[in-house]
Structure 1
Amino acid sequence: MPHRTLLDLLAGRPVRGVSGSFTIASVCHRLRDYRIGALVVVEAKRLVGIITERDIATRVIAGHRDPMLTLVREVMTRDPQTIAAEASLAEAHRLMIAGGFRHLPVMRGDDVIGMVSLRDLPAAGDSSLRDTIRVPALG
């Protein structure tokens, strides 16, 4: 059985993103409405960053910045690590664990086609991924 790719996982999912000129308050509404933890940030059809719940917590809330006035471009994670759409779920998992991040933009050439979250991967059911993830026994 072939290993599932990120392209397989993201099939049918819309790309959720904003430009750097959005306010953090508007980002929070989108995160809530979409029930996700991060958005890609795109300028002139080019990926320039991501904005995550962690960015908002550490750079806006803990930084005592006003979410109604703070712009995405001021607090986003710039030039994030990316991964090719043809990569396996296990490759994405290894990259996120090694890098210490939970969201990874997925690219096809220069185009962002989506974002994968660490929480997406165990649910994906890839056998090679299950071998990568070691879950302690409960009890």
Structure 2
Amino acid sequence: MIIRSISEVLKGRVLVSIGPTETVRVACDRLNEANVGALPVLDGDRLVGIISERDVIRRAIGRRRPTAETRVEEIMTREPTTVDLSVSLSDAMRLMIKGKFRHLPVIDEGRVVAMLSMRDIPTEYRLMVERYEEYLTSAPPREPVAAQ
């Protein structure tokens, strides 16, 4: 059975988030404890950014910034792309592939309810969509069929 909706994939998932003034060290601990690759950064209920493992490596560790002193808001990705809970899984996946990111905050009625990760999407589904897109982009144009 192919999973078609974001809500099916994320069913029962608890949202793990972080505040913008928390330290990068706290964010790393939370990422590790939750076994996730990214966290939405929330100021109250408002999404203000996203912090991923890649952000930590490139913007903190790679620049020799002390994680115990650097605040999340200093290295987070601001204004991240989001997806509505009602969007199809294939559309969400296409958005992630096109944007070249692996994590996507999921919004329902204006609030972040979950994070969708590329690894949440079943492998078979990813491969099927990728192969179909390759087929569409590599197929030669069809000759018009003459009306009879």
Q: TM-score, normalised by structure 1?
A: 0.87
Q: CA deviation at 1:131?
A: 2.2
Q: Who is 2:128 aligned against?
A: 131
Partner of 2:94: 94
Q: How far is the alpha carbon of 1:4 from its aligned partner?
A: 2.0
Q: Percent identity?
A: 41
Structure 1, unpaired ranges of 5+: 135-139
1:41, 1:50 within 8 Å by CA — same for their partners in 2? yes
- Cα deviations across residues 106-138 of structure 1 (Å, max 9, x unaligned)? 001211010001111124x65xx542134xxxx
Tell me which amino acid in the other structure corresponds to 2:64.
H
1:56 alignment partner in structure 2: 56
Distance 2:15 2:4 in 1: 19
Runs of 4+ in 1 over 6 A off after TM superposition: none
Task: Write the distance in 2 (CA, Å) between the matches of 1:2 and 1:96.
Answer: 19
What does residue 42 of structure 1 align with?
42
1:70 matched residue in structure 2 = 70
Name the SS for the 1:18 alignment partner: coil
User: What residue number does 2:116 align with?
Assistant: 116
What are the superposed Cα offsets for residues 70-122 of structure 1, whole Å, 9 maximum, x if unpaired?
A: 00011100110000101111111100010010100000121101000111112
1:27 corresponds in structure 2 to: 27
Larger radius of gyration: 2
Which position in structure 2 is the counterpart of 1:18?
Answer: 18
Residue 73 of structure 1 aligns with an amino acid whose one-letter code is: E
SS in 1 for 2:33: helix
Q: Is the 8 A contact 1:3 1:88 kept in 2?
A: no
Kindly tell me the number of residue pairs found equivalent between the two proteins. 131
Aligned residues: CA RMSD: 1.6
Q: Match for residue 8 of structure 1?
A: 8
> Gaps (5+ residues) in structure 2?
132-148
Amino acid of the structure 2 residue aligned with 1:49: G
